[in-house]
């Protein structure tokens, strides 16, 4: 017996260590060596959100003791000084084992400085993450004191990967030197996580005069990542909130919630997506983040995604979007471990299922959500009486996705002359805008913000800004002059502007709600640089960049045994909606269709929308050309089924609709809408 026990012990000693999950969460809020105007509010809240998700809601949970937090503003957490960050990385590298997963999160200010090695950077600049003990630019040594430089971040990560651990790093900071205006609005304060170089004491010409000796890439090329992916045994994936020439904001989130707090827009959107799609790949998560940015008009920045985007975060397993959660019933209330982060809101009605595997038609009742927090929700029974006693193993299932076709627009702050002119035009504006555009007081939560910008090229104009109130490029920002209009014409012109924007945004909202559907149709966009050149697929691991004169083509294959109608629409940066194709794919057919050529009229964030609907063999081809609309002048002087939902999104009076998440088995596959992000940029 003793010999047997000894043998068993030796076997146990020989077993390899089980892989573990580790996380290091860094949130830098206050910077004592900088003016208080540059302090942030959101990074501590980002860290709290991520910590709660990883330890309670992640598909592969993290042990609380394996989640290290460095953040000022989080109780019990050390401040994220440069020394503390370096020490935490050294500790992680010492602990990491082959096969472990390590999540890294950086929330705080970013900036740029002349590169220590100019030849290593295409733009001659180092990207910086700023710990809280950041100091000024030191001209003698040629660096910003206590800055965490992109090269060092890469070395710290490589030390962990060298142990065989897999790393996912998320950076919610920005490095741009772009001048950004922000419209003031009450307590809904928006800040950008960008520290101007002059705040660090860099000479004004320090960045402009930096070496640009390396050849600049083709304008179509994927932008350079702020942190290089080095070498190592373990894999590395990196998500960046913005490219090196963009800014990223923080604002009070989630939208419409009374207790909302300042959050990084990128962090919140990313974890909202993770909560809704826990089994998605990195690439699918990135595409969904981009779609949410467009649909919710959150930010103009373009997040960047690098690494093995076909893998699953946290070394998890693939799976569909989660639309049901276990629930407990007590005292007439139902509590579930999902909340606003999972796409739930008060007033939503969920189906009460006897178990997770039951078909939707087997629901035993309905539950109305009465209160929703970030990670939890509570509801009460609605309608018919529920069985008594209730079975064990209850689930609440989301069966419809609500689509709100209203556009909330906040009025401008102050009593300037343009604001007074708008106040006099309110009756005309309300009549012209129609029922789907809701005007709210200045400072209230809104999808769009009207603003007066005195130092702009048009100080008499009403500018239409995104919900953050940030105006990064006024040449691409709609505005309506006031000095040359009476109240009636001002209201009519601004109402027309908002309606045009609403139609484009609602098309994207509907596309996000419907998603790709269950159709087995393969769709690929292709491009070429001119007639006679070969067609190449547009990459989906990043936002494709196209230049004027590039051609765009579509390749679609119907792998099903029934016909499918395909419509292709294009939403341009100036809110123009073009209808480029309508046709039918018979079973087994392949569609090859040239669509359009990029012009240089308006460049910016643009989106291809591919609508696919199952068709009966003898029916007319679905034609959605009625959704087309002319471009919005940026500077303004003087039925049932999917088609019905699209008509409401563009021209109908319905302000809110619901889209079924799954088709019934006897109805065949559900329609689908693909949205593909594009950026059109100058050729040079």
Is 314 within 8 Å of 101 (Cβ atoms)? yes
| Spatial CA neighbour of 323 closest among 237, 219, 399, 220 | 399
Q: Which pLDDT tens digit goes with each residue over 611-645?
A: 999 988 888 898 888 888 888 776 655 444 566 66
Domain boundaries, the chain: 17-315, 324-398, 407-503, 515-680
Query: At residue 654, does pLDDT exceed 60?
Result: no
At residue 623, the pLDDT reads: 87
Six-digit token pair at 107?
A: 């929330």
Rounded-to-integer distance, Cα 211 and Cα 207, Å? 9
Closest to 478 in 3D by CA, of 638, 635, 629: 635
Residue 104 pairs in a beta bridge with 24, 169
Which residues are CB-neighbours of 332 under 8 A, at least 6 positions away?
A: 380, 381
pLDDT reported for residue 288: 86
CATH architecture of 515-680: Sandwich (2.60)
Calculate what percentage of the chain has a pLDDT beyond 70.
84
Whether 17-315 shares its CATH topology with 407-503 is answered yes
Q: Under a CB-based contact definition with an 8 Å cutoff, are residues 109 and 175 in contact?
A: no
Which residues face 261 on adjacent strands?
A: 253
HSE-up of 262 (CA within 13 Å, CB side)? 20
Question: What is the reported pLDDT for 360?
Answer: 87
CA distances from 401 to 268, 323, 617 (A): 20, 10, 29
Bridge partners of residue 330, in order along the sequence: 333
Buried-exposed string 471-507: b where 16+ CB fall within 10 A, e elsewhere = bbebeebbbbbbeebebeebbbbbbbbbbbbbbbbbb
Tokens of 571: 């939403």
Closest CA to 518 of 622, 662, 658: 662
Residue 423 has pLDDT above 90, yes or no: yes
Q: How many CB atoms lie within 10 A of CB 386?
A: 18
Check whether the bond before 294 is cis (ω within 30° of 0). Answer: no
Q: Other CB atoms closer than 10 Å to residue 269's CB: what's the count? A: 23
Task: Note the helical H segments in 456-486.
Answer: none
pLDDT digits (tens, 9 = 90+) for 528-559: 887 788 998 887 667 888 888 888 888 999 99
CB half-sphere exposure, 578, CA atoms < 13 A: 14
pLDDT band at 665 (very low <50, low <70, confident <90, very high): very low
The set of residues, in sequence order, having a beta carbon less than 8 Å from that of 572 and lying 6+ positions away, is: 578, 602, 606, 631
Output the CATH code of domain 324-398. Answer: 2.40.10
CATH code linked to domain 407-503: 3.40.50
Whether 663 has a pLDDT exceeding 50, the answer reads: no
Return the minimum-mean-pLDDT range out of 155-159, 269-273, 318-322, 333-337. 318-322
Extended beta strands in 299-354, E state: 304-306, 324-326, 328-330, 333-336, 349-353
The model's pTM is 0.86
- Residue 634 confidence (pLDDT): 64
Q: Domain 17-315: give its CATH architecture.
A: 3-Layer(aba) Sandwich (3.40)
From 242, 282, 279, 291, select the one nearest 264 (Cα to Cα). Answer: 242
Q: Give the pLDDT confidence of 199-225 residue by residue, as tens digits.
A: 888 776 666 544 444 445 677 777 777
Handedness of CA 213, 134, 53, 373 (dihedral sign): negative
């Amino acid at each position: 017996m003793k010999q047997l026990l000894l043998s068993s012990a030796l076997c146990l000693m020989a077993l390899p260590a089980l892989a573990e999950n580790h996380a290091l969460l860094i949130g830098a809020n206050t910077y004592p060596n900088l003016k208080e105007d540059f302090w942030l509010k959101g990074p501590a809240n980002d860290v709290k959100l991520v910590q709660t998700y990883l330890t309670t809601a992640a598909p592969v949970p993290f042990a609380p003791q394996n989640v290290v937090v460095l953040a000022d503003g989080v109780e019990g957490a050390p401040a994220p000084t440069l020394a503390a960050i370096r020490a935490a990385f050294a500790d992680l590298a010492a602990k990491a084992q082959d096969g472990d997963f390590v999540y890294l999160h950086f929330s705080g200010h970013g900036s740029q400085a002349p590169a220590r090695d100019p030849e290593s950077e295409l733009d001659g600049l180092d990207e910086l993450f700023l710990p809280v003990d950041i100091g000024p630019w030191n001209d003698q040594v040629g660096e910003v004191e206590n800055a965490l430089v992109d090269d060092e971040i890469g070395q710290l990560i490589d030390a962990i990967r060298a142990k065989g651990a897999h790393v996912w790093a998320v950076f919610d900071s920005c490095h741009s030197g772009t001048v950004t205006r922000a419209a003031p609005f009450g307590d809904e304060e928006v800040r950008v996580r960008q520290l101007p170089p002059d705040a660090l004491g860099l000479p004004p010409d320090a960045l402009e005069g930096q070496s640009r000796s390396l050849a600049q890439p083709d304008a179509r090329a994927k932008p350079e990542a702020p942190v290089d992916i080095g070498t190592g045994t373990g894999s590395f994936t990196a998500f960046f909130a913005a490219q090196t020439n963009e800014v990223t904001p923080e604002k009070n989130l989630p939208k419409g919630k009374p207790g909302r707090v300042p959050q990084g827009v990128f962090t919140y959107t990313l974890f909202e997506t993770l909560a809704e799609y826990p089994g998605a790949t990195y690439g699918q998560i990135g595409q969904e983040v981009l779609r949410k940015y467009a649909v919710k008009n959150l930010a103009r920045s373009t997040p960047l995604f690098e690494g093995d985007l076909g893998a699953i975060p946290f070394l998890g397993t693939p799976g569909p979007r989660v639309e049901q959660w276990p629930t407990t019933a007590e005292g007439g209330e139902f509590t579930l471990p999902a909340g606003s982060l999972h796409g739930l809101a008060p007033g939503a009605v969920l189906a009460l299922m006897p178990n997770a595997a039951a078909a939707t038609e087997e629901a035993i009742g309905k539950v109305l959500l009465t209160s929703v927090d970030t990670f939890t929700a509570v509801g009460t029974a609605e309608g018919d009486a529920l069985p008594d006693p209730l079975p064990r193993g209850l689930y609440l299932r989301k069966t419809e996705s609500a689509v709100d076709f209203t556009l909330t627009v906040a009025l401008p702050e102050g009593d300037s002359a343009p604001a007074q002119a708008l106040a006099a035009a309110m009756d005309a504006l309300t009549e012209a805008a129609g029922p789907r555009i809701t005007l709210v007081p200045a400072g209230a939560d809104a999808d769009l913000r009207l603003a007066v910008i005195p130092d702009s090229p048009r100080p008499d104009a009403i500018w239409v800004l995104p919900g953050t109130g940030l105006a990064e490029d006024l040449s691409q920002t709609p505005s309506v002059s006031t000095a040359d209009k009476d109240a009636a014409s001002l209201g009519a012109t601004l109402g027309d502007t908002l309606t045009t924007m609403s139609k484009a945004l609602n098309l994207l909202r509907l596309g996000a709600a419907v998603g790709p559907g269950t159709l087995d149709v393969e769709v690929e966009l292709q491009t070429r640089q001119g007639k006679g050149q070969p067609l190449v697929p547009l990459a989906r691991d990043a936002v494709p960049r196209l230049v004027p004169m590039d051609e765009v083509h579509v390749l679609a294959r119907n792998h099903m045994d029934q016909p499918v109608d395909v419509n292709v629409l294009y939403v341009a940066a100036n809110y123009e909606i073009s209808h480029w194709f309508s046709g039918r794919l018979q079973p087994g057919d392949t569609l090859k269709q040239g669509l359009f050529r990029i012009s240089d009229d308006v460049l910016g964030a643009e989106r291809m929308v591919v609508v696919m609907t199952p068709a009966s063999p003898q029916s007319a081809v679905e034609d959605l050309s009625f959704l087309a609309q002319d471009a919005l002048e940026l500077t303004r002087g003087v039925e049932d089924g999917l088609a019905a939902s699209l008509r409401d999104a563009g021209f109908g009076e319905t302000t809110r609709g619901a889209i079924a998440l799954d088709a019934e088995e006897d109805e065949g596959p559900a329609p689908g809408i693909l949205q593909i992000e594009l950026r059109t940029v100058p050729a040079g």
